């Protein structure tokens, strides 16, 4: 039997489910197709202030109370304690060296902490994706989305009047006609295969392999390095990054004590390890731990709660993100690397754009216009490049901690400026603003220029450059971010420990086009406190 719907969405990660639900709220007839079932494991867990801003805007605009409640750790705990999550107060980085324990040199340690929030209540979160994605799919169903799991969609045929999807469910064939199909299958790459969209990976810079799991009984870094000077928040309640010669490790602690951890290893890093991929995930994991004594110590009694897994290459990139009757969500279009936690925020920003494009007030027909889809496509393209350059430059900068700490300031300056501006200065076009400053005159060129400068220091082969080279690079960063540096980054007197400092923000009011008085008056909005959403459109 042939069925019809207006919009078919392939994939029910949080992104597919949330977009499906918004479209249902807007009055669309939506079918959401998932090849697996919920709850299920998913990777990509660490949220950011920009992700939470998008969630709050979505909550407010479409009357989705839970989106607003889940956008801050305190509200999450108060309203959805059953959904597992972790407290994330900021971004923590340590540099480790092979065969050496992490050196506690007090304020001179190779350690960088950047606070993303002033208190636990308004802090970001790590999402236990099994719970969060399940929540979003249940809410989609409650909003009227026709959700079908265990579906194997085998074909999509495009004709001028509709898209025809066919496949199997429970051993029976199905046939669905949709006006538009949205690919939210992530790296599953459903439409990439159906439409033979060419890969764009060849023009990107970042390459890394991944070995990862979730672990019980891991120690905190603070258990091992109790004498390190106090930071702006407890080091471990953060997205913790361990920089190593071969790449880096993420460590995201959930409030129940389970930790999501994974090593990202560059191709030269894999070669250095000398463990063939065929040796398997456990052997690669063990070899990495054995090289870094402090990391080995925090994992000494840890047990994986699911098998350690290995993926030889995690990057993908396509050359188109939208066309006639089809759209890709960001994670179906491109993925670079978890460094700087860009995935959730970028996905939510794209959901905002698509949702706005479906709002009937914006056009006379019930589907996004060609212009809207072309704009979406063009923006994802420059944004994917921007993320790639930001991350590739960070890998380059890992050659020396001073270079890394300086480059990271570019990321933090761009995102903090965007966050503060979006919270304090009314901006109705925020959803269409380029992610990570992509396409913006001041921020846009910075990651690419940083990559170029870093490569001239490292030679692309990990050279650390001279002390002068590193000082000049840090000075360039400091000068370049000045027009966006509303939070006092790149300040040597901070010793790489950056709190949320409202006095600095007030002093720099002019960078946001505000008077001092306006700034002071609007500060409560920074915590999302003065702006409780009115539910219902
Ligand atoms: C190692 C790693 C770490 C990451 N860490 C972070 C982080 O800390 N912070 C962050 O912001 N982002 C992170 N990301 C990115 C993050 O994972 C993605 O941005 C996020 O998962 C996107 O969600 P999604 O719903 O679009 O897709 P996914 O979560 O990929 O969901 C896709 C869904 O589609 C389904 N599907 C696939 N193929 C089909 C098909 N053919 N038919 C039907 N259904 C299908 C899948 O079963 C799945 O349910 C990380 C990514 C990786 C690889």
Q: Is the CB of 477 inside a 6 Å radius of any atom of ligand 1?
A: no
Q: What is the dihedral of CA 522, 74, 113, 335, to 10 degrees?
A: -100
Return the closest-CA partner of residue 353 out of 194, 182, 199, 495: 182
Q: Is the CB of 12 inside a 6 Å radius of any atom of ligand 1?
A: yes
Q: Is the CB of 184 inside a 6 Å radius of any atom of ligand 1?
A: yes
Tokens standing for residue 226: 């109790």
Return the closest-CA partner of residue 23 out of 374, 349, 368: 368
Q: 183 forms bridges with which residues in the sheet?
A: 10, 328
Q: Is the CB of 262 inside a 6 Å radius of any atom of ligand 1?
A: yes
Of all protein residues, the one whose alpha carbon is nearest to atom 19 of ligand 1 is 343
315 alpha carbon to ligand 1 midpoint, in Å?
Answer: 12
Of all protein residues, the one whose alpha carbon is nearest to atom 18 of ligand 1 is 343
317 alpha carbon to ligand 1 midpoint, in Å?
Answer: 14
260 alpha carbon to ligand 1 midpoint, in Å?
Answer: 15
How much is the CA Rg of the chain, to the nearest whole Å?
23
43 alpha carbon to ligand 1 midpoint, in Å?
Answer: 6
Of all protein residues, the one whose alpha carbon is nearest to atom 51 of ligand 1 is 44
Of all protein residues, the one whose alpha carbon is nearest to atom 42 of ligand 1 is 35
Q: Is the CB of 86 inside a 6 Å radius of any atom of ligand 1?
A: no
480 alpha carbon to ligand 1 midpoint, in Å?
Answer: 34
- Angle, helices 49-62/343-358, rounded to nearest 10 degrees: 20
From the alpha carbon of 332, which atom of ligand 1 is closest? 26
Cα separation, 127 vs 232, whole angstroms: 23
From the alpha carbon of 190, which atom of ligand 1 is closest? 41
Cα separation, 396 vs 243, whole angstroms: 12
489 alpha carbon to ligand 1 midpoint, in Å?
Answer: 32
Q: Is the CB of 232 inside a 6 Å radius of any atom of ligand 1?
A: no
Residue 360, pLDDT score: 75
Q: 535 forms bridges with which residues in the sheet?
A: none
Cβ count within 10 A of residue 315: 18
Q: Is the CB of 182 inside a 6 Å radius of any atom of ligand 1?
A: no
Which among 44, 314, 317 is the best mutation to test ligand 1's pocket, defined by most ligand atoms within 8 Å of the CB? 44
295: phi then psi, degrees, rounded to nearest 5: -65, -40
From the alpha carbon of 13, which atom of ligand 1 is closest? 25
Q: Is the CB of 183 inside a 6 Å radius of any atom of ligand 1?
A: no
460 alpha carbon to ligand 1 midpoint, in Å?
Answer: 30
Q: Is the CB of 331 inside a 6 Å radius of any atom of ligand 1?
A: yes
400 alpha carbon to ligand 1 midpoint, in Å?
Answer: 32
| C-alpha triplet 316, 317, 321: angle, nearest 5° | 135
Residue 535, pLDDT score: 34
333 neighbors 350 (Cβ within 8 angstroms): no
Return the closest-CA partner of residue 489 out of 505, 513, 468, 473: 505
Question: Mean pLDDT, 10 residues at a time, over the chain (537 residues)?
Answer: 92 98 97 98 97 96 98 98 98 98 97 96 97 98 98 96 95 95 95 97 98 98 96 98 98 98 98 95 98 98 98 98 97 98 98 95 79 97 98 98 98 97 87 97 98 97 96 98 98 98 97 96 75 37
- Angle, helices 446-458/370-397, rounded to nearest 10 degrees: 30
Residue 364, pLDDT score: 63
Return the closest-CA partner of residue 343 out of 315, 366, 322, 364: 315
37 alpha carbon to ligand 1 midpoint, in Å?
Answer: 14
Which is it for strands 124-127 and 146-148: parallel, antiparallel or unpaired?
unpaired
Cα separation, 114 vs 404, whole angstroms: 13
Return the closest-CA partner of residue 510 out of 491, 478, 484: 484
Q: Is the CB of 43 inside a 6 Å radius of any atom of ligand 1?
A: yes
Residue 426, pLDDT score: 76
Q: Is the CB of 186 inside a 6 Å radius of any atom of ligand 1?
A: yes
Cα separation, 328 vs 11, whole angstroms: 11
Q: Is the CB of 314 inside a 6 Å radius of any atom of ligand 1?
A: yes
Which among 343, 346, 384 is the best mutation to test ligand 1's pocket, defined by most ligand atoms within 8 Å of the CB? 343
218 neighbors 302 (Cβ within 8 angstroms): yes
From the alpha carbon of 212, which atom of ligand 1 is closest? 1
Cα separation, 319 vs 425, whole angstroms: 34
Residue 528, pLDDT score: 61
Q: 338 forms bridges with which residues in the sheet?
A: none
45 alpha carbon to ligand 1 midpoint, in Å?
Answer: 10
């Amino acid at each position: 039997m042939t069925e019809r719907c207006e919009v078919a969405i392939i994939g029910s990660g949080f992104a597919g489910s949330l977009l499906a639900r918004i479209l249902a709220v807007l009055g669309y007839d939506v079918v959401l197709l998932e090849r697996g079932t919920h709850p299920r494991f998913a990777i990509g867990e660490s949220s950011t202030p920009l992700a939470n801003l998008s969630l709050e805007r979505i909550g407010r605009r479409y009357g989705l109370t839970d989106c607003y409640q889940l956008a801050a750790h305190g509200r999450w705990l108060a309203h959805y304690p059953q959904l597992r999550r972790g407290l994330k107060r900021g971004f923590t980085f340590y540099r480790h060296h092979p065969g050496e324990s992490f050196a506690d040199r007090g304020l001179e340690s190779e350690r960088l902490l950047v606070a993303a929030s002033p208190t636990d209540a308004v802090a970001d979160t790590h999402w236990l994706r099994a719970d969060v994605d399940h929540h979003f799919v249940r809410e989609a169903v409650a909003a009227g989305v026709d959700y079908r799991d265990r579906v194997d969609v085998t074909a999509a045929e495009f004709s001028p009047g509709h898209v025809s999807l066919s496949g199997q469910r429970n051993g029976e064939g199905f046939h669905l006609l949709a006006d538009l199909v949205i690919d939210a299958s992530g790296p599953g790459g459903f439409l990439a295969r159906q439409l033979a969209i060419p890969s764009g990976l060849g023009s990107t810079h970042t390459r890394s392999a991944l070995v990862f799991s979730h672990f019980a009984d891991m120690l905190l870094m603070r258990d091992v390095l109790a004498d390190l000077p106090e930071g702006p928040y407890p080091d471990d309640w953060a997205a913790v990054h361990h920089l190593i010669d071969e790449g880096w490790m993420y460590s995201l602690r959930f409030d129940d004590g389970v930790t999501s951890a994974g090593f990202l290893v560059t191709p030269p890093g894999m070669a250095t390890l000398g463990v063939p991929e065929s040796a398997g995930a456990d052997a690669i994991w063990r070899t990495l731990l054995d090289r870094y004594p402090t990391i080995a110590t925090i994992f000494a009694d840890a047990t994986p709660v699911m098998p350690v897994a290995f993926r030889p290459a995690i990057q993908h990139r396509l050359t188109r993100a939208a066309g006639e009757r089809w759209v890709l969500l960001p994670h179906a279009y491109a993925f670079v690397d978890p460094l700087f936690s860009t995935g959730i925020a970028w996905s939510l920003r794209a959901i905002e754009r698509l949702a706005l494009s479906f709002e009937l007030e914006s056009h006379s027909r019930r589907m996004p216009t060609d212009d809207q889809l072309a704009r979406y496509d063009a923006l994802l393209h420059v944004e994917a490049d921007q993320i790639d350059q930001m991350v590739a430059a960070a890998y380059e900068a890992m050659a020396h901690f001073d270079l890394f700490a300086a480059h990271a300031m570019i990321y933090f300056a761009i995102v903090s400026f965007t966050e503060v501006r979006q919270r304090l200065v009314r901006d109705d076009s925020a959803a269409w603003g380029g992610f990570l400053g992509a396409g913006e005159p001041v921020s846009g060129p910075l990651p690419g220029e940083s990559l170029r400068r870093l490569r001239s220091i490292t030679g692309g082969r990990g050279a650390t450059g001279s002390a002068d080279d590193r000082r000049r690079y840090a000075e360039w960063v400091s000068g370049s971010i000045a027009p966006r540096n509303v939070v006092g980054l790149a300040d040597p007197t901070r010793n790489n420990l950056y709190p949320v400092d409202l006095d600095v923000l007030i002093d720099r009011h002019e960078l946001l086009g505000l008077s001092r008085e306006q700034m002071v008056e609007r500060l409560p909005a920074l915590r999302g406190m003065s702006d409780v959403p009115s539910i219902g459109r």
